Amino acid sequence: MQQIVDKLNEKEVGKVLLNEPLKKHTTIKIGGPADLFIQPKSIDGLKEALNVLKENNIPISVIGRGSNLLIPDEGIRGAVIQFGKGLDHLEVDGDQILVGGGYPLVRLAAIISRDELSGFEFAGGIPGSIGGAVFMNAGAHGSDISKILVKAHVLYEDGTTEWLTNEEMKFDYRKSVLQDEKKGFCIEAVFQLEKSNKQDILAELKKHKDYRRDTQPWDHPCAGSIFRNPLPRHAGQLVEELGLKGHQIGGAKISEMHGNFIVNEEDASYHDVMALIQLIKDQVKEKYNIEMVTEVEIL
């Protein structure tokens, strides 16, 4: 693997680390080491890295800010590429913006408010990045990415890239074409926003941030919502009705604040969290005959 590292450094793709603990890069603070961990310094650096990895038949996984992610304690074999600094560019052109896949949602919502641009208020308090948000059509408070995306610049697993329109992304509830039909990753995106009053935008952002702070356990390491809502029911409500809030296995606990959150209470393992996920699935199926589907991405 050191030879691969040397090749990547020779190409100056960005930061390259061996056996990097992935719990340092997930909000739930769980995850074993990646054989190879790469933070590309640019889109060109990303493409160079992919070329080297493909030439050497190294398996590839991609992560963002780790806010909707669960990684095994055994870690990830092959290379893990993180979209972050280097893929966090932002260009504002009137009421349209071009933004890199590594740009944090919370920061973007705050920055564009200065230009009196409205459309990302729903993202206030969502601790993810643009790439992940497009991938899963992130949303809240009655809006989501599909409402504002014009097109997405997609990188496929074979190293090719393509711009996909909103229609081609085939958005649905917490879904996009990138999850199955066209497996790939959003490296940048163009959004159509609207001019609005700055104070109104800031007030809306604050309202959503306050709501998340008051109703979700972000003061503990967690991975965000564990399940998609089986509409018209809500996952957290089902968990509460089953009396599972506060239930703990090992170091992982179903949040007492919100039933659709599992928190890392005390050095929780991947297997602790998966056991709680299975418990919820089994009990919801037994009592309500509902198949629960995870929203959190499990590598």
The answer on 33 and 65 residing in a single domain is yes
Q: In terms of domains, do 54 and 148 share one?
A: no
For residues 150 and 196, membership in a common domain is answered with yes
- Evaluate the CA torsion angle 151, 127, 273, 286 in order and state its sign: negative
Strand partners, 184: 156
The reply to whether 174 belongs to the active site is yes
Using an 8 Å Cβ cutoff, are 125 and 209 in contact? yes
How does pLDDT run across 145-191, given as a tens digit for each residue?
999 999 999 988 777 899 999 999 999 988 899 988 888 899 999 99
Say whether both 273 and 181 belong to one domain: no
Residues in Cβ contact with 2 at an 8 Å cutoff, skipping those fewer than 6 apart = 18
**From 174, 188, 204, 255, active-site residue:** 174
Residue 215 confidence (pLDDT): 84
Specify whether 40 is located in the same domain as 105: no
**Do 19 and 100 belong together in one domain?**
no
pTM of the model: 0.87
**Alpha-carbon gap, residue 142 to 282, rounded angstroms:** 29
C-alpha closest to that of 273 among 208, 226, 213: 226
Instruction: Write the CB contacts of 83 (distance below 8 Å, at least 6 apart in sequence).
Output: 40, 62, 63, 64, 100, 101, 102, 129, 131, 132, 185, 187
Range of the domain at 164: 90-214
Q: What percent of the chain has pLDDT over 90?
A: 69
Amino acid identity of residue 148, one-letter, is: I
Segments of the chain scoring below 50 in pLDDT: none
**Active site (annotated) includes residue 225:** yes
Q: Give the separation between CA 96 and CA 194, rounded to whole angstroms.
A: 8
pLDDT digits (tens, 9 = 90+) for 37-74: 999 999 999 999 999 999 999 999 999 888 889 999 99
- The pLDDT value recorded for residue 251 is 97
